[in-house]
Amino acid sequence: MNVLVLGGDGFIGSHFVEYALSRGCQLSVFGRFSCGATRNLEHLHNSIKLISGEFANRDDVAKAVKGQDIVYHFISTTSPASSWNDPFIEIDENIRRSVQFFKIASEHGVQKIAYVSSGGTVYGRHEGVTDENVLERPFTPYGIGKITIEHFLNYYREHGQLEADIYRVGNAYGPRQPMHRPQGVIAHWMNSILHEQDVLVYGDSKTLRDYIFVDDVAELIGQSLESLSDSGTYNVGSGQGIAVTELLAIFKRVIKHRFSVRMLPRRDFDNVSTILDCKRILTKCPGFKFSNFEEKLAETWQYVRNTKTIFS
């Protein structure tokens, strides 16, 4: 199977590339590669094909999708914080470019697209555990952009006969996560601890998030490789909510390094609670077992300490 990964040099994308290679796929990775250099894929140079280009450039995308059976779409240039005061960036950089890509893919015979969406933002302010049948009510430009891209992908399923899997991923964490961005609280806290800065805790015991280890995400979204002739929308999380105060207590147990904490109110773009019902994806992956949270948190901290790398 020929697999193209858009944004495969990023956090989740690079872990998925490793997983797909373990399944025997022929992997091409599209992104901005200056002189062939990668951020997270140097150890795989002899196993993958790198395709350098701009996602906004129609010709670059068309060349990349030629001959591909399935394309995984990880590219996103924003976060909930970065587009909160500039909603047009979602339209110009994410929605428009993704729709252009869907059109190109349908014209060039791609059989299936797997799109990585956001389980933390597309549902909006829902309480309790949320499954895929809940009415989506995103209130941030980021979440609105994600659900809009999902709808356009559904349009191309009907108009362009293009199969599509949509993955609404929760709060992924693990090695290689960008550490300086406001998105990804675990990486952000670890960055603060590493640089002896205050750990900023937004929210309280009612602020719940669904954390999932990045390798678990890669394996679950890899179910699209099993069939190119069907489509579905899937939550990808652990199904468990961890309060931000509980997360802080776990950090203090796992990270044997003193750090200071500053408690702050939730920000305007923060959901109160995000817990994903993942029964649908788990039926596609019989025998799957989630990683132990505290063990993987400790593993991630060890990686951060060893690399001391601030990812851009």
172 conformational bin, left if phi > 0, alpha if psi -120 to 50, beta if neither: beta
Q: What is the pLDDT of residue 310?
A: 42
Cβ atoms within 10 Å, residue 25: 19
Q: Which two three-digit tokens encode residue 288?
A: 């799957």
**Residue count (the chain):** 312
Query: For residue range 76-102, what is the model confidence (pLDDT) as tens digits?
Result: 999 999 999 999 999 999 999 999 999
Residue 172: CB atoms within 10 A of its CB come to 26
Buried b (16+ CB within 10 A) or exposed e, 68-87: bbbbbbbbbebbbbbbbeee
Domains of the chain (ranges; CATH) run: 2-173+211-238+274-290 (3.40.50.720)
pLDDT interval class at 256 (50, 70, 90)? confident
Q: Which of 165, 157, 172, 174 is nearest to 285 (CA)?
A: 165
Q: Is the pTM of this model over 0.75?
A: yes
Q: Cα dist. 140→183, 192, 252, 268 in Å?
A: 13, 26, 31, 9
- pLDDT of 311 reads 40
Q: What pLDDT does 257 receive? A: 87
CB atoms within 10 A of CB 152: 19
pLDDT in tens, 286-297: 999 999 999 999
